[in-house]
């Protein structure tokens, strides 16, 4: 006779020591983890604010209407002191580093932030101090017309 012996197998469900150790680690270091998360969040918030503010600043500076308004304001201020050409709008530049311009007599008294208005048709350059609202210097300029050299045409010989 055959005896049917069945083996009883018992399966033990293994505990997951890795998960338990991670949970224990988190519980033990919850303060440290909280500090790290707050630091990361604060850093992200500050960088977002910084770039948002920079983008708004650049839009204002690069705005063409703002540049036109500045030119009109300068023309209105300077026209109180002298007659300006009506038939052209000047090119406006700002003195950013007067030390590099000191060897040129026109810029001898220039300060950082002074404006230079260049009227090419009228042949004038005006150095203006917008802080003190004074004309610092006026000089004639000569911007010659650049003429194109004619392209020679080849002559064919028979």
> What b/e sequence results for 106-119 when a residue is b if at least 16 CB atoms lie within 10 Å of its CB, and e otherwise?
bbeebeeebbbbbb
Distance CA 23, CA 141 (A): 79
Give the number of domains in the chain.
Answer: 2
Would 149 be classed as within a structural domain? Answer: no
* One domain, residues 128 and 92: yes
Contact status, residue 55 vs residue 63, Cβ threshold 8 Å: no
pLDDT digits (tens, 9 = 90+) for 9-64: 565 555 556 667 777 777 777 788 888 889 999 888 888 877 766 655 434 344 56
Would 67 be classed as within a structural domain? Answer: no
Range of the domain at 34: 17-61
Would 157 be classed as within a structural domain? Answer: no
Would 94 be classed as within a structural domain? Answer: yes
pLDDT digits (tens, 9 = 90+) for 49-93: 777 666 554 343 445 666 788 889 999 999 999 999 989 989 888
Check: pTM over 0.85? Answer yes or no: no
Would 5 be classed as within a structural domain? Answer: no
Contact status, residue 106 vs residue 118, Cβ threshold 8 Å: no
């Amino acid at each position: 006779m055959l005896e049917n012996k069945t083996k009883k197998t018992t399966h033990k469900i293994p505990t997951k020591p890795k998960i338990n150790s991670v949970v224990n680690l988190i519980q033990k270091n919850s303060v440290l983890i909280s500090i790290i998360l707050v630091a990361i969040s604060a850093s992200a918030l500050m960088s977002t604010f910084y770039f948002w503010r920079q983008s708004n600043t650049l839009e204002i500076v690069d705005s063409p209407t703002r540049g036109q308004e500045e030119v009109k304001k300068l023309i209105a201020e300077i026209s109180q002191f002298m007659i300006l050409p009506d038939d052209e709008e000047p090119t406006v530049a700002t003195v950013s580093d007067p030390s590099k311009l000191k060897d040129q007599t026109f810029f001898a008294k220039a300060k950082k932030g002074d404006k230079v208005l260049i009227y090419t048709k009228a042949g004038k350059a005006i150095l203006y101090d917008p802080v003190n609202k004074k004309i610092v210097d006026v000089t004639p300029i000569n911007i010659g017309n650049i003429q194109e050299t004619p392209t020679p045409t080849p002559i064919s010989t028979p």
